[in-house]
Structure 1
């Protein structure tokens, strides 16, 4: 359990550090709300799409092409999305439902989940986890864009308007742009890839600094109950549901372990960026990210320990 806890801390603590730095910079007056707004827009429209574009372009299916596990993972994620949306209907204000649902089902799989899978299972965790991460990114983007559009104060809830919003989402466009190039095995010039890496590398630190800079103590207190509920869905109920349904399907060993790590990952930083892009409650999104990341330090370590003790992973 010590190795698992150490690996979890190594991945999660830098996230907290960057959020704290953002809050500190705002406190010192080095950044202001105008910077947070502009930087969040830059991440949403440029740096994050570039990161996804390059990730898809460089992706190679692992030797372990476990489509059954990937399909099960996508199915569980979609089921959880539906259950959380139903849960949110009577418990959240209309304008907060989209942010709550996104924060409660959308995990930081591409960073936290993949890093923990690689730490726990080495090359197998990296190859299988990379395949799962690539698949879930597309599903998460589509589902998040839909639920945010339905409750967004700035986006029409008409089905055609929602479809247009999903189709023009910069993050989805970044992925779609890379797919034909990946299929045709097109290699971009080295200088262009390096320039893209420079731009893409801004995504996570800038998004986390914006989260810290946009945090409001009063807003966090007001949304504390909702952020805790969403966090518990994300790091406790969702992985528990996944494991309980995976066992009768025969998943054991590394497959079950990687599935648990991905389902139990805390809410993704990009959830904050998308919430701001939809004109939704970005403070609630930031609070869910912080709270779920903190709780995941304990739930992931405890969950892996329990699964190992039972001889399931």
Structure 2
């Protein structure tokens, strides 16, 4: 009975997030949303509403509780270790032309949207503020490592490192994190009407972004996926979350910190990996298949992972 109640509570955490994804898929198939809407809404989320949400979550945070250098450092090291592990596996098991896309799809998670939504669902304001700080680490690492591995295998156009650095520094999420920290650290308040208006605007973020993720899914693409896409998806959704979460437990993380790390490790592959692969001459179809497969798998793997950790009393 206790296990059943725990499982139901776990579904209450994960189902709202993934239900929005599948609603987006349904709306696209009904023709109620189209590519133009998805492109516009995605740009609005990335450039404005999501940075606002991250800014507010950090401004309201108690940095003494949420700014955890150990947590940020472990996440960075685990991401690097996962990246190296995926590359070694790809060098052994994946055809040469597919290795770059395989590695990116296997290690690059959609933390900014799915991870943050799950963190808020499980931990509320703490999940948003601590997750927002983790996103700063995510953006820098994911972009730099993706360029390294894609440029190593693909014959397409090479992105210069100065351009990549400028893109990172101009990233709206990075800017929002750096702008918010002084406000939170100095406990600088903003007028009530500003905070209320910002809350209204930021509240658009997660439902709109999740609908767009669902709207970009292609079941036909999933059916056309091959062994490489499935292998990368299993690496992203099962192998790496299990290894990294076990490593976090051995490192002494527990409770909310362990739960937050698991959610970020267990995110499906980021949609940005398709854009990056296409820009650097990679196999865009393979990248799209990995995104679709991992997003579909996430509703099961994340739910089971949270259930297992909660049943064990670890989060």
TM range (shorter): 0.7 to 0.9
Whether the 8 Å contact between 2:52 and 2:202 is mirrored in structure 1 is yes
**1:254 corresponds to:** 255
- 2:137 is equivalent to residue 139 of structure 1: yes
| Aligned partner (choices 105, 108, 121) of residue 102 of structure 1 | 108
Whether the 8 Å contact between 2:103 and 2:232 is mirrored in structure 1 is no
Offset of 1:76 from its aligned partner? Answer: 2.4
RMSD (Å) for aligned C-alpha atoms: 3.6
Between 1:251-260 and 1:163-172, the stretch displaced more is 251-260
Change (3 A) 1:65 1:59: closer
CA distance in 1, matches of 2:274, 2:47: 12
Offset of 1:242 from its aligned partner? Answer: 3.3
CA distance in 2, matches of 1:223, 1:46: 34
Whether the 8 Å contact between 2:221 and 2:288 is mirrored in structure 1 is yes
CA distance in 2, matches of 1:100, 1:244: 18
Offset of 1:95 from its aligned partner? Answer: 5.0
CA distance in 2, matches of 1:215, 1:247: 34
Q: Structure 2-normalised TM-score? A: 0.76
**1:192 corresponds to:** 194
Whether the 8 Å contact between 2:104 and 2:146 is mirrored in structure 1 is yes
Whether the 8 Å contact between 1:166 and 1:172 is mirrored in structure 2 is yes
3-state DSSP of counterpart to 2:159: coil
**2:281 corresponds to:** none
CA distance in 1, matches of 2:45, 2:253: 38
Whether the 8 Å contact between 2:57 and 2:128 is mirrored in structure 1 is no
3-state DSSP of counterpart to 1:212: helix
CA distance in 2, matches of 1:70, 1:108: 19
Between 1:157-166 and 1:70-79, the stretch displaced more is 70-79
Deviations 1:154-205 (A, max 9, x none): 9852221211111111221221221222233221222121221122111111
Offset of 1:102 from its aligned partner? Answer: 0.9
Q: How many residues are aligned here?
A: 297
Q: Structure 1-normalised TM-score? A: 0.76
**1:17 corresponds to:** 19
Offset of 1:244 from its aligned partner? Answer: 4.0
